[in-house]
């Protein structure tokens, strides 16, 4: 978190960048071969609706912004994170999460009707989807234990089109906790575990070299 704050970016950008670097490395492409990856960042629109809503208003009020990035294998975590963040911020400042909503819905429907329009007919429209802001968990461990809760996760899934990895990140007692949802059998548990472990290593290395 301190590394993100020092660079004026948000946590999602660092996590997404680690995912892009890890995914590229997992393909073991020829040196400097360019690969294009897409990220969908979900932004909470409650505060900008008319009338505005509060976080206590239940429902799904997020809109996604799709941004693509060319990866060649030599990217550094923080440089790529800044690039991802700037791309998303520029699109959001241009109200892309509203103006592109109908176009994205149309493309999603067409992808469902014509799977061959997606890579390898996989119905995957992005590598990663992630929320702009993590959930801050305010429950203390003693409070959870008192009601018999040992552990829990927050996540969701959809049928049809979607990303290869949906990231649900939260902050618990100042620590990052992530749940990763992926389509099976399109991707295997072994494949995803290797990808996530590499992401973790990239984030830890980036955190150690933040300053």
Over the stretch 50-78, which tens digit does the pLDDT of each residue have?
Answer: 899 988 888 888 888 999 999 999 999 99
Residue 130: predicted pLDDT: 95
Between the alpha carbon of residue 172 and those of residues 46, 147, 152, the distances in Å are: 23, 18, 11
Low-confidence ranges of the chain (pLDDT < 50): none
Residue 26: predicted pLDDT: 93
Taken in order of first residue, the domains within the chain and their CATH numbers are 2-208 (3.30.559.30)
Residue 95: predicted pLDDT: 86
Residue 159: predicted pLDDT: 67
Residue 210: predicted pLDDT: 58
Q: Look at residues 53, 17, 60 and name the one whose alpha carbon lies nearest to residue 167.
A: 17
- Antiparallel, parallel or unpaired: β 62-71 and 35-44: antiparallel
**Residue whose tokens read 């990239």:** 202
Residue 211: predicted pLDDT: 54
Residue 22: predicted pLDDT: 97
Given a contact cutoff of 8 angstroms between Cβ atoms, the answer to whether 1 and 90 are in contact is: no
Residue 169: predicted pLDDT: 93
pTM: 0.88
Given a contact cutoff of 8 angstroms between Cβ atoms, the answer to whether 95 and 101 are in contact is: no
């Amino acid at each position: 978190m301190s590394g993100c704050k020092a660079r004026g970016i948000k946590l999602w950008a660092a996590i997404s960048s680690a995912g892009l670097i890890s995914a590229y490395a997992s393909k073991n492409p020829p040196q400097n071969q360019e690969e294009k990856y897409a990220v969908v960042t979900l932004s909470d629109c409650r505060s900008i609706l008319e009338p505005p809503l509060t976080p206590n208003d239940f429902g799904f009020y997020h809109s996604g912004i799709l941004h693509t990035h060319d990866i060649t294998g030599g990217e550094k975590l923080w440089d790529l994170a800044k690039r991802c963040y700037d791309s998303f911020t520029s699109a959001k400042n241009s109200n892309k999460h509203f103006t592109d909503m109908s176009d994205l819905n149309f493309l999603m429907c067409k992808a469902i009707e014509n799977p061959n329009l997606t890579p390898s007919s996989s119905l995957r429209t992005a590598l990663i989807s992630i929320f702009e802001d993590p959930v801050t968990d305010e429950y203390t461990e003693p409070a959870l234990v008192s009601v018999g809760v040992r552990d829990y996760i927050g996540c969701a899934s959809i049928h049809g089109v979607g990303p290869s990895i949906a990231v649900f990140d939260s902050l618990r007692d100042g620590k990052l906790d992530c749940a990763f949802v992926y389509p099976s059998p399109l991707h295997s548990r072994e494949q995803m575990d290797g990808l996530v472990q590499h992401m973790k290593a990239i984030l830890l290395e980036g955190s150690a070299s933040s300053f």
